[in-house]
Amino acid sequence: MNRMLPRMAPALAAAQLMRVHSAGVAFPVALGALIALAGAAASAVAGVPWTRVASVAFMPLYSLAVGMGAVALLSGDALVELHGSTPIGVRAVWTTRLALLALAAAAGALVMFAPLHALGVVYGDIGWASALSPVGGAVALALAAYAAVAVLESPRAAAFFVVFAWMVLSFFWDPNLAGDPVLQRAVPLAVALTAAAGAWLSLGSPERACAKAVGAR
């Protein structure tokens, strides 16, 4: 492992934060607040039972937005060779960026969940443990985007893959496990972490990283 990395970590995080602050950090939190506002307005206009059923359609959109934003921010960077030529390396930069995106996604999911939970319009709500569902979903899709960008060859293929993962998660996995948020999120997070670990290993070779979607393709 790079011996300089612990000393450079705060500067690395600050540089990546400057790179992604508007679309990667502010946008997920703002989107979470917007969905919460829309849910509150719908429950005031159309009543709580209808909004609870409609929340099944609106809450997965947050994780899709997080996944698409992660694909857009992690792919197509023209400076990949530059990162690879410094002692820090491509892998540390991309993992820092992913960590910031995942943290912002989790924060935005909590911002979205808390007002809707207080109003009682979350479908299959079993208390604060249900927060694991939007938070885990957003983080899993961010990890899937990281894995897709590091392994596939173009941002278009990475976007295809992330939408496919979102569809499997939202249309097939979630509705069948609606009352058990721990199992509902444990398996997707385990799969996403495994994929991200494989991507982390693959990014260790800068030549291979420059040929994938992390570069300017």
Partner 1 sequence: MRFLRMALVHARIAARQRALWAASAALCLLSLAVMVNGGMPFESGDVFDLAFFAQVLAMLPPIAYAAACTDLASSPARLGIGEVEKAAPVASVVLAAARVTGTLAVVLLPSLALLLFCGFGQLAHGNLLGPLQALAMFVLVVAPAALLAAAMSALAGAALPRAFARIAAAAAWLVVLALTSFVGVPEAGGGVHLEIASDPALQALFGLPPVLNENVAWTVAPASPLAAFASVAGRVAFAVVLLAAAGALSRARGRRR
Write phi, then psi, for 5 (nearest 5 degrees): -60, -45
Among 35, 157, 199, 214, binds partner 1 (CB under 8 A): 157
Nearer to partner 1, 33 or 132 (CB): 33
Q: Does 79 bind partner 1 (CB under 8 A)?
A: no
Q: Does 215 bind partner 1 (CB under 8 A)?
A: no
Q: Does 154 bind partner 1 (CB under 8 A)?
A: yes
Nearer to partner 1, 8 or 160 (CB): 160
Write phi, then psi, for 125 (nearest 5 degrees): -80, 120
Nearer to partner 1, 142 or 152 (CB): 152
Cα–Cα dist 177/43, whole Å = 25
Which string of DSSP letters, residue by residue, matches 101-126?
Answer: HHHHHHHHHHHHHHHHHHHT-STT--
Cα–Cα dist 112/20, whole Å = 21
Interface residues toward partner 1, by CB under 8 A: 22-24, 27, 61, 64-65, 68-69, 71-73, 76, 152-157, 159-164, 167-168, 171-172
